[in-house]
């Protein structure tokens, strides 16, 4: 086993984040058919948290937690398209100045154009605000132009690398070597091969498998034989109005905002279209997996594999037709549960599974603890380094997920928009029960051990009254401790 780095030999930190990757897309989470050999190889030498949850199942709020160690309701990033406040500290501002602090790829916490919040090296792929010429261009799109890629005209528009840019790149039908995944893989492997002896903190962020779902590996999986679960295209009868109304909308064949002709149009009026979309999504995970292999090979060749902590996770999942839903925003596991793989070579070189539930709120304090940094008092999670060392467990660890109901985009139907505007809170217990509460909608209670697909809502089961009361009380206590003022119903 590699020796433990001492304080004069600070460990490196490599955090790899995908976008919209649900947990059950890797072998260590039960998927025995998807082609992800490199993710699987990483998991084979890492700690695998069996049940990891985001703080809010949508991009900006979730990422705000992974960078700052605070909840969205605390740092103010309660929805997408909000910039992280200048005085909010990222982990790059918490580690020793000895670290070379690097951020590559999607930021999504404001304008992606320039290095910020303690990061020194910066290469962008996402939103860049318009300059004096009225256009914005990320480093990735500049890279494409250098290679002669002619993007559709609507790429150059106010807002730059926003939704129009995503559709434009998809419409360009790029080969694998020109995808955003390959670009991020290129710049990350180059850094790892060229970096100096200075310890590094590197966040590398992939856009895939976020929609548009189309991609160069679209024919990799046969939609007709793709494995699905018992909740696939099944209406959530007896669940919250929010989930029922969204399911009704999607199962009627309604399309997403970014489903435009010539880009990523999937006809969702029948099972064939849903399966094709799901197959495209899985293919884009394989696309990322190939880059994970390149990154891990470069880390090994750099000579720093034994003194580098590697984290692999995602900002949220995708429902992919489960419960008749698409995308994120739901508290179901397909949306809120993600991979969390942590490789600490001097603690374990084999796969070590960690049962129970954990939240990404604990990621920043855990990393600081593992590299011997002090943990700031304002952080709202707790270090789980003792769990990795085998000193404690997650048996009684409660996890809290939120939805803040502010300023989301039009989701397609009046009832959905009314329901999405309501704040919601979830508690997932260490013994795998999930309670969803909303003041203005029906409650939900799921036994995730016996009902992992969350088919049966037990909220009105009189035999669960004591459990509901206890979980609701712990949820309210968490609200008091973290300054959360969202209203909750009396239960």
pLDDT surpasses 50 at 157:
no
Which among 26, 82, 76, 1 is positioned nearest to 307, based on CA atoms? 1
pLDDT on residue 212: 82
pLDDT on residue 122: 95
Name, in order, each residue with C-beta under 8 angstroms of 146's C-beta and a sequence gap of 6 or more.
none
> Rounded distance, CA 17 to CA 312, Å?
6
The Cα-based distances of 217 to 167, 173, 220, 221, 364 in angstroms read 17, 11, 5, 9, 34
pLDDT on residue 263: 53
pLDDT surpasses 50 at 2:
yes
Which among 243, 250, 248, 249 is positioned nearest to 436, based on CA atoms? 243
pLDDT surpasses 80 at 255:
no
Lowest mean pLDDT among 115-119, 284-288, 372-376, 404-408: 404-408
Class in CATH terms, 12-397: alpha beta
Q: Are 76 and 407 in contact (CB under 8 A)?
A: no
**Average pLDDT in the 211-221 region?**
90
**Average pLDDT in the 230-234 region?**
97
295 is written with which tokens? 């990154």
Lowest mean pLDDT among 53-57, 89-93, 105-109, 288-292: 105-109
pLDDT on residue 170: 65
Confidence band for 167, pLDDT divided at 50, 70 and 90: low
SS3 100: strand
Which among 317, 423, 430, 442 is positioned nearest to 71, based on CA atoms? 423
323 is written with which tokens? 């419960």
The beta-strand segments (E) located in 315-432 are 337-338, 340-343, 352-354, 358-359, 399-403, 424-428
Confidence band for 257, pLDDT divided at 50, 70 and 90: very low
pLDDT surpasses 80 at 159:
no
pLDDT on residue 52: 98
> Rounded distance, CA 264 to CA 273, Å?
11
**Average pLDDT in the 80-106 region?**
95
Residue extents of the structural domains in the chain: 12-397
> Rounded distance, CA 291 to CA 50, Å?
24
pLDDT on residue 214: 85
pLDDT digits (tens, 9 = 90+) for 322-333: 999 999 999 999
How many other C-beta atoms can be found within 10 angstroms of the C-beta atom of residue 192?
A: 25
pLDDT on residue 262: 46
pLDDT digits (tens, 9 = 90+) for 390-412: 999 999 999 999 999 887 878 88
pLDDT surpasses 70 at 162:
no
pLDDT on residue 256: 53
**Average pLDDT in the 163-183 region?**
78
Q: Which residue has the tokens 């001492």?
A: 6
> Rounded distance, CA 77 to CA 73, Å?
7
Confidence band for 40, pLDDT divided at 50, 70 and 90: very high
SS3 311: strand
**Average pLDDT in the 307-324 region?**
97
pLDDT on residue 275: 95
- Concatenating the DSSP letter of every residue in 3-46 gives PPP-TTSPPEEEEEEEES--GGGSGGGT-SSS--HHHHHHHTTS
pLDDT on residue 132: 53
pLDDT on residue 323: 98
Number of C-alpha atoms within 13 angstroms, CB side, residue 408?
24
pLDDT on residue 267: 81
**Average pLDDT in the 236-253 region?**
94
Mean pLDDT, all residues of the chain: 91
Radius of gyration of the chain (CA): 21
pLDDT digits (tens, 9 = 90+) for 343-388: 999 999 999 999 999 999 999 999 999 999 999 999 999 999 999 9
Percent of the chain with pLDDT over 70: 90
Of residues 167 and 231, which shows the higher confidence score? Answer: 231
Percent of the chain with pLDDT over 90: 79
Q: Are 478 and 382 in contact (CB under 8 A)?
A: no
> Rounded distance, CA 362 to CA 398, Å?
12
């Amino acid at each position: 086993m590699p020796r433990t780095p001492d304080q004069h030999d600070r460990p490196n930190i490599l955090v790899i984040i995908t976008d919209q990757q649900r947990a059950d897309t890797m072998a260590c989470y039960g998927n025995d058919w998807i082609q992800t050999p490199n993710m699987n190889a990483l998991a084979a030498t890492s700690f695998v948290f069996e049940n990891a949850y985001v703080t809010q199942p949508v991009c900006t709020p979730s990422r705000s937690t992974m960078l700052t160690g605070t909840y969205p309701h605390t740092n103010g990033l309660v929805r997408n398209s909000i910039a992280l406040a200048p005085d909010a500290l990222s982990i790059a501002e918490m580690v020793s100045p000895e670290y070379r602090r690097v951020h590559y790829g999607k930021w999504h916490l404001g304008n992606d154009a320039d290095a910020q919040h303690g990061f020194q090296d910066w290469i962008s792929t996402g939103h860049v605000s318009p300059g004096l010429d009225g256009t914005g261009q990320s480093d990735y799109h500049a890279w494409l132009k250098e290679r002669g890629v002619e993007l559709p005209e609507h790429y150059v528009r106010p807002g730059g690398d926003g939704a129009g840019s995503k559709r434009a790149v998809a419409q360009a039908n790029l080969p694998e070597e020109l995808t955003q995944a390959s670009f991020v893989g290129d710049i990350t492997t180059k850094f790892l091969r060229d970096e100096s002896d200075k310890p590094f903190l590197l966040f590398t962020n992939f856009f895939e498998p976020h929609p548009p779902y189309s991609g160069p590996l679209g024919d990799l999986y046969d939609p007709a034989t793709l494995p699905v679960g018992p909740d696939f295209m099944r209406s959530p009868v007896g669940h919250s109005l929010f989930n029922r109304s969204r399911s009704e909308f999607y199962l009627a064949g309604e399309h997403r905002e970014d489903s435009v002709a010539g880009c990523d149009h999937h006809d969702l009026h029948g099972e064939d279209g849903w399966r094709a979309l799901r197959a495209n999504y899985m293919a884009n995970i394989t696309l990322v997996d190939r880059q994970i292999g390149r990154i891990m090979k470069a880390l090994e060749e750099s000579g720093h594999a034994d003194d580098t902590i590697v984290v692999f996770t995602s900002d949220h999942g995708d429902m992919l037709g489960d419960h008749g839903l698409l995308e994120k925003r739901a508290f179901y596991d397909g949306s809120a549960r993600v991979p969390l793989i942590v490789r600490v070579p001097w603690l374990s070189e084999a796969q070590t599974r960690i049962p129970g539930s954990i939240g990404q709120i604990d990621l920043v304090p855990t990393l600081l603890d593992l590299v011997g940094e002090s943990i700031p008092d304002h952080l709202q999670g707790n270090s789980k380094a003792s769990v990795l060392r085998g000193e404690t467990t997650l048996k009684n660890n409660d996890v809290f997920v939120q939805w803040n109901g502010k300023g989301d985009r039009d989701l397609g139907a009046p009832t959905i928009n009314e329901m999405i505007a309501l704040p919601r809170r979830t508690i997932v217990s260490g013994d795998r029960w999930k309670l969803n509460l909303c003041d203005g909608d029906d409650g939900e209670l799921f036994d995730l051990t016996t009902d992992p697909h969350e088919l049966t809502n037990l909220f009105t089961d009189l035999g669960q009254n004591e459990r509901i009361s206890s979980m609701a009380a712990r949820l309210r206590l968490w609200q008091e401790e973290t300054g959360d003022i969202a209203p909750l119903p009396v239960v």
